[in-house]
Chains A and B, each alone.
Chain A
Amino acid sequence: MEINRRDFIKFVVGGVAGIHVTPLPWKLTDDIAIWTQNWPWVPVPERGEFKEAKAICTLCAGGCGIRLRLVEKRGVKIEARDEFPVNHGGICPIGMGGLQLMYDKDLRFTSPMKRGGPRGEGIFVDISWDEAFSILIERLKELREKKDPRLLAVIDGLPYEGTESLMVRRFLQAYGSNSYFRLPDQDLVDRTVNWIMHGIKGPMGFDLENSDYILSFGAGLLEGWGIPGRVLSLWGDWRSKGEGPKVKVVQIESRASNTASKADRWIAINPGTEAALALGIVRELLQRGRYNVDFVNEHTFGFGDWVDQEGRSHKGFKSLVMEAYTPEKVASITGVDPKEIKLIASELESAKTPIALWGRGKAELPNGVYETMAIHSINLVLGRVQRPGGVIISKEVPLGDLGPVFTDEKAKDSLRQDALVPAGITGIAHVGDLLKAILDSKEPVVDTLFLFQANPWVTMPSSILLEKALKKVPFIVSFSPFRDDTSCFADLILPDHGYLEKFQEIVNPKGLGYAAYCISAPVLPAAYQTKPLGDTLIQLAGKLGDGIKESFPFKSYEEALRQRASVLFSGKRGSIKIQKEPPWKWVETKDSGIQGDDKKDWEALLKSNLWYLPNTKESAYIVFPTDSKKVEFVSLTLKRFKDAIGAKSDEDLMPHYKALETEKAGFLFLPYEMVNWSSGWAPSPPYLTKTVFDHILLKQDLFLELNPRTAKDLGVKEGDLVEVRSKLGALKFKVHLSEVAMPGVIYAPLGFGRIGYDEFLKYKGVNVATILTCQKDPIAGTPLWWGTKVTINRI
């Protein structure tokens, strides 16, 4: 049969037309559509039953109440709990992104590890728990038997009254070491002030829920100060229009931070001179006679001139203030107009519940002790202590302890000796002391170093010394759940669970105005081969034996917690049920929810996640356990230690202003903090990178802030690359011009330049903490870091 061309064309055309009435082309197009909706590399979240779980957040020592949304066992969202008194519905961006910190494998230590590369590179190799324990036990045994138990040192960033921290100290004590170091933060300073002015060894709190006038000396209320969830929530209340009396916020700092911009008034002040302004305000109050005369007369010592036991007469606080802090003197020091001082004083007088706050930025970097005393003295002359809306200095949480510590002969002998690195008068040494000793001392002061929830690489000024010092430490063990920057220097990792995977607790959430104990059970199954810190310590103790084992008679960390809680229950004070009336109403709790049955109470406590004891007017009235039994403007405690602190005059026992010695040349270099970027121990969840503006971080470049006038003088423009050099070292930045910056001062954000974690944080920007130069606070020994002078050069 012949097929000619005409037929062929007919066939082809017919075929094409025909195919269109078959399903084939339509099915193919439908298939294509389905492919484009189901690309295999696009994750499909697993389905399952939706559940809810309640917990607290301990990414900072805040203990905010949070709610988790779970799909089967997977956490998919975190919300704040409205009914939880601590944060009353508020949460910070770091807490909101907490699940990323749980699940991002590269952010965490997923199993025990040992160092697999040069020290400081953060290269690790997986090992088993057995191997990790045996390496550590071998070393600890050798150290104890052959060398000196005091060569085991601990850097402890855990909350001080927490059970984990108690266990750490217990371990150290039973081992025979007194080499205990904390981070030099504002908490340390606050406790020092609380001790030397009020005689109380404990943290201070602020009853901000009742304050109607907040005079903040640099406290970054919107930058993450205090418990950020709580403070941000309060901010919303303070700014509520028309509902209740208006709360006024006055912010005193050199930079137009968010807090300064959104406060009712911003007072621009020369950096570091806050104490002078505070005392100038006190003088104004005294001058007008409009201070709380009753409180001052009844409950304070050292206000007027006084005579000591030897018959010598001494200047009192009032004399000091009246002489040295006249409006003109204060104006010349601080740059603040005397009219402003008078205005603040009159506002303080007419406010019902004013409060003065301190703590630059997030208050992770510490203030000075005298400085804090000076600001706090505003509260004192107004009698704003242990009163609604004021400073709460006594918050006792009647938890039990962990029982007696058993010290064997070796431990006893060792502990009788002086500490290798002596602490100051506060009795608590901090990391800066340790680093200095490592670098300066000829004899070794540490052989094995433990790191607990501490990341001084980022949180400690002059952290460039850390690198030098840590390289000299023979063996470093980190218990961190995160691959943090300081842990990059470790030799052995025994990783903790992530926070939602373990029992969490906070004793006295930071800055809260009433006694509280937040606790939650694990809400997520452990994602990796980690172990809760408490259990690790118990097991470590068990394997070491030698009396250390006896000091840890707990089967588990949970058991230890229950042991402490049972004392709380038997005390029958406070409430483990969240009451209708919030605790800042200063009324006693009606139904405490405590039944006196350990098991039932424990379950109830884990359900509410909170024990708390609201203040009442009666309970707040305390006898100050100082030498004078009063609040001391002149600290007799300091008098006792006057040689140790180098006190030469009466002034050195009182709040006063002393300028930091800085070089004449150069620009003042100040770090600033952001609420949406972590400069503390916990890393920024990757989501936070979306919230950082490109005038702060662009690709790998961090920007410093310069006032346009200063930039003009320097000859730099927006976007220029510059080198900033202090005595300690140099860092590269790009320049951002902004009128938020005080002319002549350079600002840069903290918390960048990470060397740990993963691609979301690593190597982005530079770590400002490394080049901050510090002087030593004469009382607490903590770093005074706001005097760093730098040179800037275009590169």
Chain B
Amino acid sequence: MNPFDAALFPEGTKRCSLKLFIAWNIPWILLLLWGLVGAVLCLYKGLNQTNMTDYFAFALWIVFDLAVIALGAGAFFTGFLTYIIGKKELKDIINAAVLIGFICYSGAIAMLGIDIGQPLRGWFIFWHVNVHSMLAEVSFCITAYLGVLAIEYLPIILENRQIQRIKELRLFGNNLHEIMAMFAATGTFLSFFHQGSLGGLFGVMYARPFAYREGFYVWPWTFFLFVLSAIAAGPCFTILCTRLAEFITRKKLVPDKAVQTLAKIAAYLTGIYVLLKIVDTLVWAYKLTPKAGLTLMDYYKEGPYGIWLLIAEVIIFGIIPAIILLIPKARQHPGWLVVACLMNCTGIVLNRFVFTVVTLAIPVMPFGRFVSYWPTWQEWGIALALVGYGFLLFSLSYRYLPLFPKERELNP
């Protein structure tokens, strides 16, 4: 017996029953509800609902924002590779990448809306912009890029079987496909700058020796390292999401060639990134830090954020996944590929965490204190709601939209 909503499925595909689908989505909806309660509380009562403090001006949400934006870089980079560089095989995975990007960016912006103290004034960042601020650059670009992602996502929605029957919408969707290259280029440009300026956010803080880096003109080295790490981890995240979808749906959704193309590029990028990161770390540890009158271990001498974090980020979750990915046999091995992608993404998330939370935990004043932070349930709710939102939207998109063009071919 066909599922109730079978008419909405992409042509020739099989989907599970509607009941099972709804059951599958219940945890994600619950997460969303948890997040909604947290958000309402924060908007109504104020940010005292969190455990953020004057020391921890940035906390869980910013870490999440940075992490998902970095991981969502798969969207623009795959688009760049597909439309600008011309790697046609990636067309089989680009939809998923775009969707992941859309989820990440829309969720991040929603979270940011709660994170600022006066959300209704959020638009001041555009209206009263300070062009010298990295955060201004970030805001403009991620908002514009969200628009680009929406435009890239829209044609996928329009490819729904039922919507395709409406001639105007089908034509509109087709037209959009023609100009996708232009949007991909715009997206690449915007993303390069905001991925970078997210790194720039921390690198320019010359009064925070832990975060500060020298750089090229107005762009600190963290600018470039963040871009590099984003395009190294983004494809890995796309691969992980695809593998997860395949695991859950028990189907092969993307041809190996697409995955391997992404993996190979990610491998080289990760390798280059890890090398440059090590160089940057050494320069920071032995040149910049002493200039502020500190030693490397001064950053790690107290509190829960010890030197193990550095080792974990750069070596365990940096060098090791780079090596795994660079070895072709490992890269082609399904298990090792997943492990390497997981480790790579973890490393990047750790990197974002370190720059956000550990920077703020370390005292700068000689008589200051190390402080630590743990989020409240409201904060967790809003952060995990993003995960719920992601699963929900991805599930809906997979069920009703031709997210994976080669699905039918791979599952006769």
Contact = CB atoms under 8 A, between A and B. Distances in A.
Contacts of A33: 120-121, 124
Contacts of B166: 5
Interface string A178-200: 00000000000000000000000
B162 to A, nearest CB: 15
The 7 closest A-B pairs by CB, nearest first: A36-B120, A5-B168, A36-B121, A32-B120, A36-B118, A6-B168, A29-B123
13 contacts: A5-B166, A5-B168, A6-B168, A29-B123, A32-B120, A32-B121, A33-B120, A33-B121, A33-B124, A35-B120, A36-B118, A36-B120, A36-B121
B121 to A, nearest CB: 5
Interface in B123-168: 123-124, 166, 168
Could you say which interface size class chain A belongs to? under 10
A5 B124 CA distance: 37
Interface string A6-24: 1001000000000000000
A39 to B, nearest CB: 10
B120 A9 contact: no
Contact of B168 (A9, A29, A32, A35): A9
Interface of A: 5-6, 9, 29, 32-33, 35-36
A209 B121 CA distance: 56
Contacts of B123: 29
A36 B120 CA distance: 7
Given A29-B123, A32-B120, A36-B118, 11 more contacts: A5-B166, A5-B168, A6-B168, A9-B168, A32-B121, A33-B120, A33-B121, A33-B124, A35-B120, A36-B120, A36-B121
A9 B118 CA distance: 36
Nearest to B171: A6
A9 B168 CA distance: 9
Nearest to A35: B120
A372 B136 CA distance: 68
Contacts of B124: 33
Could you say which interface size class chain B belongs to? under 10
Contacts of A29: 123
Contacts of A6: 168
Contacts of B168: 5-6, 9
Interface of A is mostly: helix
A6 B118 CA distance: 41
Contacts of A32: 120-121
A35 B120 CA distance: 9
A174 to B, nearest CB: 57
Nearest to B128: A33
A5 B171 CA distance: 12
Interface in B45-61: none
Nearest to A9: B168
Contacts of B121: 32-33, 36
Nearest to B168: A5
A270 B403 CA distance: 82
A32 B121 CA distance: 8
A717 to B, nearest CB: 16
A35 B119 CA distance: 12
Contacts of A35: 120
A9 B169 CA distance: 10
Contacts of A36: 118, 120-121
A9 B167 CA distance: 13
Nearest to B167: A5
Interface string B103-129: 000000000000000101101100000
A160 B61 CA distance: 62
A6 B171 CA distance: 11
A56 to B, nearest CB: 38
Nearest to A29: B123
A41 B238 CA distance: 47
A6 B168 CA distance: 7
A32 B119 CA distance: 10
B200 to A, nearest CB: 28
Q: Which of A29, A32, A33 has the most CB of B within 10 A?
A: A33
B396 to A, nearest CB: 25
A29 B166 CA distance: 36
A310 B248 CA distance: 114
A277 B123 CA distance: 71
B231 to A, nearest CB: 35
Nearest to A37: B121
Nearest to B119: A36
A778 B168 CA distance: 106
Nearest to A6: B168
A20 to B, nearest CB: 14
A696 to B, nearest CB: 15
B87 to A, nearest CB: 34
Nearest to A33: B121
Interface string B176-194: 0000000000000000000
Nearest to A32: B120
A781 B211 CA distance: 65
Contacts of A9: 168
B44 to A, nearest CB: 12
B38 to A, nearest CB: 22
A36 B123 CA distance: 12
B64 to A, nearest CB: 25
Nearest to B166: A5
A344 to B, nearest CB: 33
B63 to A, nearest CB: 26
A29 B122 CA distance: 11
A579 B284 CA distance: 64
B378 to A, nearest CB: 20
A531 B130 CA distance: 57
Nearest to B172: A9
Nearest to A39: B118
A6 B172 CA distance: 11
Contacts of A5: 166, 168
A36 B166 CA distance: 44
A29 B168 CA distance: 34
A32 B118 CA distance: 11
A474 to B, nearest CB: 47
A519 to B, nearest CB: 45
B14 to A, nearest CB: 32
A611 to B, nearest CB: 47
Interface string B304-322: 0000000000000000000
A199 to B, nearest CB: 53
Interface in B350-407: none
A454 B349 CA distance: 62
Contacts of B120: 32-33, 35-36
B155 to A, nearest CB: 16
B368 to A, nearest CB: 14
A676 B120 CA distance: 40
A9 B166 CA distance: 13
Contacts of B118: 36
A725 to B, nearest CB: 32
A690 to B, nearest CB: 13
A64 B233 CA distance: 68
A5 B166 CA distance: 9
A226 to B, nearest CB: 31
B173 to A, nearest CB: 13
A6 B121 CA distance: 37
Nearest to B123: A29
A36 B168 CA distance: 42
B303 to A, nearest CB: 15
B385 to A, nearest CB: 25
A36 B118 CA distance: 7
B157 to A, nearest CB: 16
